[in-house]
Protein backbone atom coordinates (compact mmCIF):
# COMPACT_ATOMS: atom_id res chain seq x y z
CA UNK A 1 0.00 0.00 0.00
CA UNK A 2 1.50 3.34 -1.01
CA UNK A 3 1.22 6.44 1.25
CA UNK A 4 -1.69 7.99 -0.64
CA UNK A 5 -3.65 4.77 -0.39
CA UNK A 6 -2.90 4.65 3.34
CA UNK A 7 -4.19 8.19 3.78
CA UNK A 8 -7.35 7.31 1.88
CA UNK A 9 -7.81 4.20 4.06
CA UNK A 10 -7.52 6.48 7.10
CA UNK A 11 -10.73 8.15 5.95
CA UNK A 12 -9.40 11.35 4.41
CA UNK A 13 -10.11 12.32 0.80
CA UNK A 14 -7.14 13.39 -1.34
CA UNK A 15 -7.98 16.07 -3.87
CA UNK A 16 -5.68 17.69 -6.40
CA UNK A 17 -5.38 21.47 -6.16
CA UNK A 18 -4.73 22.01 -9.84
CA UNK A 19 -6.30 21.80 -13.27
CA UNK A 20 -4.81 22.26 -16.74
CA UNK A 21 -5.94 21.06 -20.12
CA UNK A 22 -2.74 19.03 -20.40
CA UNK A 23 -3.56 17.19 -17.17
CA UNK A 24 -6.85 16.18 -18.75
CA UNK A 25 -5.67 15.31 -22.27
CA UNK A 26 -2.42 13.54 -21.33
CA UNK A 27 -4.09 11.02 -19.06
CA UNK A 28 -2.17 12.33 -16.04
CA UNK A 29 -5.28 13.11 -14.00
CA UNK A 30 -6.73 9.69 -14.80
CA UNK A 31 -3.46 8.13 -13.59
CA UNK A 32 -3.59 10.10 -10.34
CA UNK A 33 -7.11 8.78 -9.80
CA UNK A 34 -6.13 5.19 -10.51
CA UNK A 35 -2.75 5.09 -8.79
CA UNK A 36 -2.63 7.85 -6.16
CA UNK A 37 -6.16 7.64 -4.69
CA UNK A 38 -7.11 11.14 -5.87
CA UNK A 39 -10.88 11.49 -5.51
CA UNK A 40 -11.52 15.14 -6.34
CA UNK A 41 -10.10 18.39 -7.69
CA UNK A 42 -10.13 22.08 -6.81
CA UNK A 43 -9.38 25.10 -8.95
CA UNK A 44 -9.08 28.83 -8.38
CA UNK A 45 -8.34 31.95 -10.46
CA UNK A 46 -4.58 31.69 -9.89
CA UNK A 47 -4.51 28.08 -11.11
CA UNK A 48 -6.35 28.96 -14.32
CA UNK A 49 -4.25 32.08 -14.85
CA UNK A 50 -1.03 30.06 -14.66
CA UNK A 51 -2.40 27.26 -16.87
CA UNK A 52 -3.50 29.59 -19.65
CA UNK A 53 -0.49 31.91 -19.48
CA UNK A 54 2.28 29.31 -19.47
CA UNK A 55 1.34 27.19 -22.47
CA UNK A 56 -0.45 27.00 -25.79
CA UNK A 57 -3.05 24.36 -24.94
CA UNK A 58 -5.82 26.96 -24.74
CA UNK A 59 -4.82 29.13 -27.68
CA UNK A 60 -7.01 27.47 -30.31
CA UNK A 61 -10.05 27.52 -28.05
CA UNK A 62 -9.50 31.20 -27.23
CA UNK A 63 -9.20 32.07 -30.92
CA UNK A 64 -12.36 30.12 -31.70
CA UNK A 65 -14.34 31.84 -28.95
CA UNK A 66 -13.09 35.28 -29.99
CA UNK A 67 -14.28 34.58 -33.53
CA UNK A 68 -17.67 33.74 -32.02
CA UNK A 69 -17.76 37.17 -30.38
CA UNK A 70 -16.83 36.26 -26.82
CA UNK A 71 -14.38 38.15 -24.61
CA UNK A 72 -13.47 38.78 -21.00
CA UNK A 73 -15.17 36.79 -18.26
CA UNK A 74 -17.66 35.19 -20.65
CA UNK A 75 -14.82 33.77 -22.72
CA UNK A 76 -12.97 32.55 -19.64
CA UNK A 77 -15.96 30.72 -18.20
CA UNK A 78 -16.52 29.01 -21.55
CA UNK A 79 -12.96 27.66 -21.30
CA UNK A 80 -13.18 26.82 -17.60
CA UNK A 81 -16.50 25.02 -17.96
CA UNK A 82 -14.99 22.78 -20.64
CA UNK A 83 -12.13 21.73 -18.34
CA UNK A 84 -14.31 21.41 -15.26
CA UNK A 85 -16.84 19.34 -17.18
CA UNK A 86 -14.16 16.94 -18.43
CA UNK A 87 -12.68 16.58 -14.97
CA UNK A 88 -16.13 15.99 -13.49
CA UNK A 89 -16.68 13.11 -15.89
CA UNK A 90 -13.40 11.52 -14.79
CA UNK A 91 -14.50 11.71 -11.16
CA UNK A 92 -18.12 10.77 -11.80
CA UNK A 93 -17.64 7.01 -11.12
CA UNK A 94 -16.24 7.92 -7.69
CA UNK A 95 -19.16 10.26 -7.08
CA UNK A 96 -21.62 7.50 -7.95
CA UNK A 97 -19.76 4.83 -5.98
CA UNK A 98 -19.69 6.99 -2.83
CA UNK A 99 -23.31 8.11 -3.30
CA UNK A 100 -22.27 11.73 -3.70
CA UNK A 101 -19.82 11.95 -0.80
CA UNK A 102 -16.72 12.23 -2.99
CA UNK A 103 -15.68 12.72 -6.60
CA UNK A 104 -16.15 16.51 -6.62
CA UNK A 105 -14.64 19.21 -8.85
CA UNK A 106 -14.72 22.91 -7.87
CA UNK A 107 -15.15 26.07 -9.95
CA UNK A 108 -15.00 29.53 -8.39
CA UNK A 109 -17.22 32.52 -9.05
CA UNK A 110 -15.51 35.69 -10.23
CA UNK A 111 -13.36 37.06 -7.38
CA UNK A 112 -14.50 40.54 -8.39
CA UNK A 113 -17.81 39.65 -6.72
CA UNK A 114 -16.34 38.78 -3.30
CA UNK A 115 -17.96 41.86 -1.69
CA UNK A 116 -21.27 41.64 -3.59
CA UNK A 117 -23.73 39.17 -2.08
CA UNK A 118 -26.43 39.25 -4.72
CA UNK A 119 -24.07 39.17 -7.70
CA UNK A 120 -22.21 36.23 -6.14
CA UNK A 121 -25.47 34.30 -5.73
CA UNK A 122 -26.57 35.03 -9.31
CA UNK A 123 -23.26 33.85 -10.74
CA UNK A 124 -23.27 30.72 -8.57
CA UNK A 125 -26.73 29.84 -9.86
CA UNK A 126 -25.69 30.53 -13.47
CA UNK A 127 -22.48 28.45 -13.30
CA UNK A 128 -24.26 25.57 -11.56
CA UNK A 129 -26.89 25.49 -14.29
CA UNK A 130 -24.37 25.76 -17.12
CA UNK A 131 -21.95 23.09 -15.93
CA UNK A 132 -24.76 20.52 -15.86
CA UNK A 133 -22.89 17.96 -13.74
CA UNK A 134 -24.01 16.58 -10.36
CA UNK A 135 -20.47 16.55 -8.93
CA UNK A 136 -19.37 20.17 -9.33
CA UNK A 137 -18.99 22.52 -6.39
CA UNK A 138 -19.32 26.24 -6.95
CA UNK A 139 -16.75 28.05 -4.83
CA UNK A 140 -17.90 31.11 -2.89
CA UNK A 141 -15.52 33.04 -0.60
CA UNK A 142 -16.40 32.94 3.09
CA UNK A 143 -16.12 36.72 3.39
CA UNK A 144 -18.76 38.56 5.41
CA UNK A 145 -20.54 39.40 2.15
CA UNK A 146 -20.18 35.85 0.88
CA UNK A 147 -21.87 34.20 3.88
CA UNK A 148 -25.45 35.24 2.96
CA UNK A 149 -24.83 34.05 -0.61
CA UNK A 150 -23.65 30.69 0.75
CA UNK A 151 -26.82 30.28 2.80
CA UNK A 152 -29.04 31.20 -0.14
CA UNK A 153 -27.13 28.95 -2.55
CA UNK A 154 -27.47 25.96 -0.20
CA UNK A 155 -31.17 26.71 0.21
CA UNK A 156 -31.41 26.76 -3.60
CA UNK A 157 -29.80 23.29 -3.71
CA UNK A 158 -26.43 24.36 -5.15
CA UNK A 159 -23.40 22.38 -3.88
CA UNK A 160 -20.92 24.88 -2.43
CA UNK A 161 -17.21 24.86 -1.65
CA UNK A 162 -16.69 27.70 0.83
CA UNK A 163 -13.24 29.13 0.16
CA UNK A 164 -10.87 31.68 1.69
CA UNK A 165 -11.39 30.61 5.31
CA UNK A 166 -8.38 31.21 7.54
CA UNK A 167 -9.41 30.65 11.15
CA UNK A 168 -11.69 28.49 13.28
CA UNK A 169 -13.96 31.53 13.60
CA UNK A 170 -14.14 31.85 9.81
CA UNK A 171 -14.97 28.14 9.62
CA UNK A 172 -17.74 28.41 12.23
CA UNK A 173 -19.33 31.36 10.40
CA UNK A 174 -19.26 29.41 7.12
CA UNK A 175 -20.68 26.29 8.78
CA UNK A 176 -23.46 28.35 10.33
CA UNK A 177 -24.37 29.79 6.91
CA UNK A 178 -24.42 26.32 5.38
CA UNK A 179 -26.49 24.86 8.21
CA UNK A 180 -29.02 27.69 8.06
CA UNK A 181 -29.52 26.89 4.38
CA UNK A 182 -29.97 23.20 5.22
CA UNK A 183 -32.45 23.93 8.01
CA UNK A 184 -34.47 26.17 5.71
CA UNK A 185 -34.68 23.31 3.22
CA UNK A 186 -35.92 21.00 5.97
CA UNK A 187 -38.56 23.55 7.00
CA UNK A 188 -39.65 23.86 3.34
CA UNK A 189 -39.91 20.06 2.94
CA UNK A 190 -36.99 19.99 0.49
CA UNK A 191 -34.21 17.41 0.35
CA UNK A 192 -31.56 18.72 2.80
CA UNK A 193 -28.69 16.59 1.44
CA UNK A 194 -26.94 19.48 -0.35
CA UNK A 195 -23.21 18.77 -0.44
CA UNK A 196 -20.65 21.27 0.77
CA UNK A 197 -17.07 21.60 2.00
CA UNK A 198 -15.49 24.38 4.04
CA UNK A 199 -11.91 25.15 2.93
CA UNK A 200 -9.48 26.50 5.51
CA UNK A 201 -6.15 27.81 4.20
CA UNK A 202 -3.12 26.89 6.29
CA UNK A 203 0.38 27.41 4.88
CA UNK A 204 -0.14 31.15 4.43
CA UNK A 205 -0.21 31.51 8.22
CA UNK A 206 3.37 30.31 8.51
CA UNK A 207 4.53 32.50 5.65
CA UNK A 208 2.92 35.55 7.27
CA UNK A 209 4.71 35.16 10.62
CA UNK A 210 8.02 33.63 9.48
CA UNK A 211 10.10 36.78 10.03
CA UNK A 212 8.43 37.75 13.33
CA UNK A 213 8.74 34.67 15.52
CA UNK A 214 11.48 32.65 17.23
CA UNK A 215 12.75 29.65 15.32
CA UNK A 216 11.12 27.32 17.85
CA UNK A 217 7.72 28.37 16.49
CA UNK A 218 8.58 28.07 12.79
CA UNK A 219 5.95 26.26 10.70
CA UNK A 220 3.74 25.47 13.69
CA UNK A 221 0.97 28.05 13.32
CA UNK A 222 -0.75 26.60 10.26
CA UNK A 223 -1.02 23.17 11.84
CA UNK A 224 -2.34 24.66 15.08
CA UNK A 225 -5.02 26.57 13.18
CA UNK A 226 -5.95 23.36 11.37
CA UNK A 227 -6.24 21.50 14.68
CA UNK A 228 -8.44 24.23 16.12
CA UNK A 229 -10.67 24.18 13.06
CA UNK A 230 -11.00 20.41 13.38
CA UNK A 231 -11.98 20.90 17.03
CA UNK A 232 -14.76 23.28 16.00
CA UNK A 233 -15.82 20.88 13.24
CA UNK A 234 -15.98 17.98 15.70
CA UNK A 235 -18.05 20.06 18.11
CA UNK A 236 -20.55 20.88 15.37
CA UNK A 237 -20.89 17.23 14.35
CA UNK A 238 -21.52 16.30 17.99
CA UNK A 239 -24.19 18.96 18.51
CA UNK A 240 -27.91 18.31 18.88
CA UNK A 241 -28.56 20.90 16.19
CA UNK A 242 -26.56 18.96 13.63
CA UNK A 243 -28.04 15.63 14.71
CA UNK A 244 -31.54 16.98 14.09
CA UNK A 245 -30.52 17.97 10.57
CA UNK A 246 -28.83 14.60 10.07
CA UNK A 247 -32.01 12.86 11.20
CA UNK A 248 -33.92 14.77 8.53
CA UNK A 249 -31.56 13.54 5.80
CA UNK A 250 -28.78 16.14 5.73
CA UNK A 251 -25.13 15.28 5.16
CA UNK A 252 -22.09 16.82 6.84
CA UNK A 253 -20.32 19.78 5.34
CA UNK A 254 -16.82 18.32 5.35
CA UNK A 255 -13.84 20.32 6.57
CA UNK A 256 -11.26 20.75 3.82
CA UNK A 257 -7.60 21.54 4.49
CA UNK A 258 -6.35 23.84 1.72
CA UNK A 259 -3.10 25.65 0.96
CA UNK A 260 -1.21 22.56 2.08
CA UNK A 261 1.88 22.96 -0.08
CA UNK A 262 4.90 23.72 2.12
CA UNK A 263 6.32 27.18 1.38
CA UNK A 264 9.44 26.98 3.57
CA UNK A 265 12.23 25.09 1.73
CA UNK A 266 13.72 24.13 5.10
CA UNK A 267 10.55 22.40 6.25
CA UNK A 268 9.17 19.00 5.31
CA UNK A 269 7.46 18.99 1.93
CA UNK A 270 4.65 16.88 3.43
CA UNK A 271 4.26 18.97 6.61
CA UNK A 272 0.57 19.80 6.13
CA UNK A 273 -0.35 16.32 4.95
CA UNK A 274 1.31 14.28 7.67
CA UNK A 275 0.09 16.66 10.37
CA UNK A 276 -3.58 16.85 9.36
CA UNK A 277 -4.81 13.26 9.15
CA UNK A 278 -8.48 12.98 10.08
CA UNK A 279 -11.46 10.96 8.85
CA UNK A 280 -14.39 12.71 7.20
CA UNK A 281 -12.13 15.52 5.99
CA UNK A 282 -10.47 16.49 2.70
CA UNK A 283 -6.89 17.55 2.00
CA UNK A 284 -6.52 19.29 -1.36
CA UNK A 285 -2.86 19.43 -2.30
CA UNK A 286 -0.77 20.96 -5.10
CA UNK A 287 0.57 18.53 -7.67
CA UNK A 288 4.11 18.67 -6.30
CA UNK A 289 2.91 17.92 -2.78
CA UNK A 290 0.80 15.02 -4.02
CA UNK A 291 3.84 13.51 -5.77
CA UNK A 292 6.04 14.06 -2.72
CA UNK A 293 3.57 12.36 -0.41
CA UNK A 294 3.17 9.45 -2.83
CA UNK A 295 6.95 9.08 -2.92
CA UNK A 296 7.93 9.36 0.75
CA UNK A 297 4.83 10.21 2.73
CA UNK A 298 3.92 8.93 6.14
CA UNK A 299 0.84 9.36 8.28
CA UNK A 300 1.02 11.30 11.50
CA UNK A 301 -1.33 10.64 14.42
CA UNK A 302 -5.02 11.23 13.78
CA UNK A 303 -6.23 14.69 14.80
CA UNK A 304 -7.92 14.82 18.17
CA UNK A 305 -11.46 16.12 18.58
CA UNK A 306 -10.29 18.40 21.40
CA UNK A 307 -7.62 20.11 19.28
CA UNK A 308 -4.69 18.39 20.99
CA UNK A 309 -1.99 20.82 22.09
CA UNK A 310 -2.99 23.50 19.58
CA UNK A 311 -4.36 25.82 22.27
CA UNK A 312 -0.98 25.88 24.01
CA UNK A 313 0.76 26.47 20.68
CA UNK A 314 -1.48 29.43 19.90
CA UNK A 315 -0.76 30.85 23.35
CA UNK A 316 2.96 30.73 22.51
CA UNK A 317 2.28 32.75 19.37
CA UNK A 318 0.28 35.30 21.37
CA UNK A 319 3.24 35.66 23.73
CA UNK A 320 5.36 36.29 20.62
CA UNK A 321 3.05 39.24 19.82
CA UNK A 322 1.13 37.49 17.03
CA UNK A 323 -2.48 38.75 17.01
CA UNK A 324 -4.15 35.67 15.55
CA UNK A 325 -7.58 37.28 15.07
CA UNK A 326 -6.21 40.35 13.31
CA UNK A 327 -3.94 38.20 11.15
CA UNK A 328 -6.88 35.99 10.12
CA UNK A 329 -8.78 39.03 8.87
CA UNK A 330 -5.71 40.28 7.00
CA UNK A 331 -5.05 36.89 5.41
CA UNK A 332 -8.63 36.70 4.17
CA UNK A 333 -8.45 40.23 2.75
CA UNK A 334 -5.06 39.55 1.15
CA UNK A 335 -6.29 36.22 -0.25
CA UNK A 336 -9.29 37.87 -1.87
CA UNK A 337 -7.04 40.61 -3.28
CA UNK A 338 -4.59 38.05 -4.66
CA UNK A 339 -7.39 36.24 -6.49
CA UNK A 340 -8.58 39.56 -7.93
CA UNK A 341 -5.05 40.30 -9.17
CA UNK A 342 -4.80 36.83 -10.75
CA UNK A 343 -8.24 37.28 -12.30
CA UNK A 344 -7.31 40.58 -13.91
CA UNK A 345 -4.03 39.14 -15.19
CA UNK A 346 -5.91 36.10 -16.48
CA UNK A 347 -8.33 38.27 -18.44
CA UNK A 348 -5.38 40.23 -19.80
CA UNK A 349 -3.65 37.05 -20.97
CA UNK A 350 -6.83 35.86 -22.67
CA UNK A 351 -7.28 39.23 -24.39
CA UNK A 352 -3.68 39.21 -25.62
CA UNK A 353 -3.94 35.68 -26.97
CA UNK A 354 -7.27 36.44 -28.58
CA UNK A 355 -5.79 39.44 -30.41
CA UNK A 356 -3.13 37.39 -32.19
- Phi and psi dihedrals of 68, rounded to 5? -85, 0
Per-residue pLDDT of the chain (356 residues; tens, 9 = 90+): 799 999 999 999 999 999 999 999 999 999 999 999 999 999 988 898 888 888 888 988 998 999 888 889 999 999 999 999 999 999 999 999 999 999 999 999 999 998 899 999 999 999 999 999 999 999 999 999 999 999 999 999 999 999 999 999 999 999 999 999 999 999 999 999 999 999 999 999 999 999 999 999 999 999 999 999 999 999 999 999 999 999 999 999 999 999 999 999 999 999 999 999 999 999 999 999 999 999 999 999 999 999 999 999 999 999 999 999 999 999 999 999 999 999 999 899 899 888 87
- Name which CATH class applies to 3-354: alpha beta
Give percent above pLDDT 70 in the chain. 100
- Whole-angstrom Cα distance, residue 146 to residue 198? 13
Active site residue ranges: 139
Rg of the chain over CA atoms, in angstroms? Answer: 20
pLDDT tens column, 32-70: 999 999 999 999 888 988 888 888 889 889 989 998 888
| Residue 129: Cβ within 10 Å count | 9
Q: Which residues contact 282 (CB under 8 A, 6 or more apart)?
A: 12, 13, 14, 15, 40, 197, 254, 255, 256, 257
SS3 342: helix
Q: Where are the domains of the chain?
A: 3-354
8 Å CB contact between 52 and 350 = yes
Amino acid sequence: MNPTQALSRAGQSLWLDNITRELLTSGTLARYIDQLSVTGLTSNPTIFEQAIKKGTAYDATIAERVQAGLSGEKLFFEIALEDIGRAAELFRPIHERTDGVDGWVSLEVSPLLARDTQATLREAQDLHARVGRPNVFIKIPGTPEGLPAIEEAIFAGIPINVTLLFSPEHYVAAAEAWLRGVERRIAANLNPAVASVASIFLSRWDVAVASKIPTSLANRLGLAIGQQAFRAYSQLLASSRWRRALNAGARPQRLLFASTGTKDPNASDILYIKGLVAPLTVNTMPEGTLKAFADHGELGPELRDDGGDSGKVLEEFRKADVDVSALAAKLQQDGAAAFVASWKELLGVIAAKGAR
